[in-house]
Amino acid sequence: MTLTELIAQIQQLAELIGPNVYLQASIIATAFIVIGKIADWIISGIISRFARRSTNDFDDQLVSLVHKPIFMSFVLLGLSLGTRRLDLPDIPTFITVGILKTLAIFVWYSTFMSLMGLVVSVFSKTQDRKIVQTGMLALLHNVMKIVVFALAIYFLFLAWNIDVTAWLASAGIVGLALSFAAKDTLSNLFAGVSIIMDSPYKAGDFIILDTGERGLVTDIGLRSTRILTQDDVEITVPNGIIGNGKIINEAGGPPAQHRIRAAIGVAYGSDLEQVIAVLSAIAEKHPEILDTPEPRVRFRTFGDSSLNFELLGWIAQPVDRGRVTHELNCAIYRALNENEISIPFPQRDLHVRSMPERND
């Protein structure tokens, strides 16, 4: 049975009571109060049945949240039908029904606002806090508030038979003007949402911008991203610039490990096996060079005045790259001197074919 059929049957039942319209209106209002109680009991019981299977208190709070709007909706519907049954003049009927519709709108508006707050609270307690840390949850919450508020205003206009066409046209013109005035802000906002959804980096990652800045991502906002450099200088970059630029994420991939490289040149004539053994021992002795992946030494090129090697090793965090590279370079220099392995430097021989005659 649909709600329309139920209303029709209640009105027919009220007419059987007698010709007194006030009595009929009272019967209609009372009937809907009883129906509201029954509907509240049935719906709350269904939700409670699912709530007993869950481990959190979300369902329990949802049950307590829906009690009031379900019951009040039937009560206000009954009062509205009872008012119409009184056959009052048009203006009193219109005002009374409009007030009842307004009360129903405010009841459901308050319910939806509370429901969104409940959902946000549940999401903020989840183990995956990425959506919370990036501010995406706050953005969605604010957007939903605006949407629910706009719908409440729209239904208020309908409740009082106000034509919304002109209002929607005016809102469209104002929105267009604001979009042109705040195009840079909107560009950064949409880029921020894209960064949050695409996740090219996250808070705690080390990134390098295409302009050369390198640092730790401390915060990803809706308008900008904040980066803390190794000089303890915080850089705020608009998301619109980052969204259209090349970003190198040194902490990207499943692990946060980072590979460092130390380039070394030794003199021609050096024992290759000795050089490789010395460099490998340096990496193995360093406490912050990881065993997995295993460090390695590679003979890269024949230089103009040196044999060029490269020591490769992995560290746990990209932030330690500069310090560990410094420590490796110091250890390499000492080890090569101890093993009498020469480190060449560019030299130039000047041959003088003739000297100008001196005039004493």
Average pLDDT along the chain: 83
Looking at residue 82, its pLDDT comes to 83
CATH classification at residue 220: 2.30.30.60
Distance between CA atoms of residues 67 and 319, nearest Å: 54
- E strand or H helix that includes residue 326: helix 321-338
CATH number of the domain residue 267 falls in? 3.30.70.100
Does residue 44 surpass a pLDDT of 90? Answer: no
CB within 8 Å of 299: residues ≥ 6 apart? 272, 276, 307, 308, 309
- pLDDT per position as a tens digit, 216-272: 999 887 788 999 988 889 999 998 888 888 889 988 776 778 889 999 999 999 999
* pLDDT for res 56: 67
- Selected residue with higher pLDDT from 357 and 145: 145
**Is there a domain that residue 293 lies in?**
yes
Note whether residue 355 is domain-resident: no
Enclosing domain of residue 46: 3-163
Each residue of 74-85: pLDDT tens digit?
A: 899 888 888 888
Residue 144 amino acid letter:
M
State whether 24 and 147 are in the same domain: yes
Same domain as 57, residue 125: yes
Residues 72 and 107 in one domain: yes
Whole-angstrom Cα distance, residue 31 to residue 26?
Answer: 8
Q: Is residue 183 part of a domain?
A: no
Tell whether 182 is covered by a domain.
Answer: no
R_g of the chain computed on alpha carbons: 38
**Bond before 346 cis per omega within 30 degrees:** no
Residues 9 and 144 in one domain: yes
Residue 53 scores a pLDDT above 70: no
- pLDDT beyond 60 at 135: no
For residue 335, the model assigns a pLDDT of 96
Q: Kindly report which listed range (102-106, 230-234, 288-292, 353-357) carries the lowest average pLDDT score.
A: 353-357
- pLDDT over 80 at 39, yes or no: yes
Poorest-pLDDT segment among 116-125, 126-135, 171-180, 205-214: 126-135
* pLDDT at residue 181, as a whole number: 61
What is the spatial distance between Cα 13 and Cα 62, in angstroms, rounded to a whole number?
A: 35
Please, which contacts does 293-297 make with residues 24 or more away whose CB atoms are closer than 8 Å? 293/257
Please, which residues have CB within 8 angstroms of residue 161's CB and are 6 or more apart in sequence? 94
Per-residue confidence at 359, pLDDT binned at 50, 70, 90?
Answer: low
* CB 100 within 8 Å of CB 50: no
pLDDT confidence bin for 276, thresholds 50/70/90: very high
Report the share of the chain in percent with pLDDT over 90. 32
Q: Are 102 and 156 in contact (CB under 8 A)?
A: yes
Residues in the chain: 360
- Residue 184 belongs to a domain: no
- Whether the predicted pLDDT of 128 surpasses 60: no
**Looking at the structure, do residues 45 and 76 belong to the same domain, yes or no?**
yes
Three-state DSSP state, 206 = strand
Does any domain span residue 298?
yes
What proportion of the chain, given as a percentage, has pLDDT over 70?
Answer: 82
Between 214 and 7, residue with greater pLDDT: 214
**pLDDT at res. 52:** 65
Residues 55 and 143 occupy one common structural domain: yes
Query: Which region holds residue 161: left if phi is over 0, alpha if psi is between -120 and 50, else beta?
Result: left
pLDDT the model gives residue 277: 96
The answer for 274, left when phi > 0, alpha when psi is -120 to 50, beta otherwise, is alpha
Does residue 189 belong to any structural domain of this protein?
no
What integer pLDDT is reported at residue 14 of this predicted model? 63
131 band by pLDDT with thresholds 50, 70 and 90: low
Show which of 124, 145, 163 is a domain's final residue.
163
> Is the pLDDT reported for residue 207 higher than 80?
yes
**pLDDT tens profile 157-194:** 899 988 877 777 777 776 676 666 667 777 777 787 78
Task: For residues 310 and 290, state if they share a domain.
Answer: yes
Q: Please tell me whether residues 129 and 213 are part of one structural domain.
A: no
pLDDT of residue 18: 62
Q: Based on the domain organization, do 158 and 23 belong to the same domain?
A: yes
Based on the domain organization, do 245 and 265 belong to the same domain?
no
Look at residue 88 and tell me whether its pLDDT is greater than 80.
Answer: yes
- 65 and 206 belong to one structural domain: no
The model's pTM is 0.59
Assigned domain for 360 exists: no
Number of structural domains the chain divides into: 3
250 token code pair? 């040194």
- My answer on whether 150 and 30 are in the same domain is yes
